[in-house]
Structure 1
């Protein structure tokens, strides 16, 4: 009788563990900054479509940067 109870308890524990694994949330990649009007899985980031001006890098440090470096 004790074996039957033990086997039943083990079976219940294993079946509960499977249910917990199934209920894990789907991982959503990316962040959507919006009011949650829909399920999170359906709200995916669209990706950037806007374009700005061409970037021109200045290789010479500014006077402000130089003054900060002297104070350190």
Structure 2
């Protein structure tokens, strides 16, 4: 399973959802879907914009978790 850590990165940078959505040109609703792990995919252009705005690497935003049976 892929865990999304966008909320952690936003908190560390003291950035609101609305401010980040302005910086990456994504609606707050769509950004919230990603943040709350409800989305099924992310475009590389979106990932690139998030990394640029948050000054981070893709691995800072996502983490692979091994699911136990």
Structure whose residues are more often helix by fraction:
2
Structure whose residues are more often strand by fraction:
2
Q: TM-score, normalised by structure 2?
A: 0.19
Of the two structures, which has the highest relative contact order with CA contacts closer than 8 Å and spacing of 6 or more? 2
Q: TM-score, normalised by structure 1?
A: 0.18
